[in-house]
Amino acid sequence: MFLKNSRYAGLPTERISTPEGSVELVRLRALPPTTGLPHALQSHEQLDALSEQRYGGDASRFWHIADANSELEAAALSRQPGRLINLPEN
């Protein structure tokens, strides 16, 4: 259902019925504690670019940064220049 590098890959799902039909949902997952370096976002920075630099060219791992900062919507992290975020080690 999800790409293998998705934050949702391999998570348990459940199917529910709605008036429009059935829907498969991913159950909420517990975020593991992470360690990393604090980083003050610059106005031009985006998480996919930070991820590409941090994780050896893999921009799709921006969600690691979102998880390390307990943010459900990854784009919300980079909306405020100067915000101090945690860049995880791995």
Whether pLDDT at 5 is above 90: no
Residue 21 to residue 60: CA distance in whole angstroms? 31
Count of CB atoms within 10 A of residue 77's CB?
Answer: 21
4 in any annotated domain: no
Average confidence score pLDDT of the chain: 86
49-64 pLDDT, tens digit per residue, is: 999 998 889 998 888 8
What pLDDT, on the 0 to 100 scale, is given for residue 38?
Answer: 93
31-52 pLDDT, tens digit per residue, is: 777 788 899 999 889 999 999 9
- Domain total for the chain? 1
Q: What domain range includes position 43?
A: 13-88
Note the Cα 40 to chain centre separation in Å: 18
Alpha helices by DSSP H, the chain: 47-54, 62-68
What pLDDT, on the 0 to 100 scale, is given for residue 84?
Answer: 93
46 in any annotated domain: yes
Residue corresponding to tokens 């945690």:
86
Note the Cα 89 to chain centre separation in Å: 14
2 in any annotated domain: no
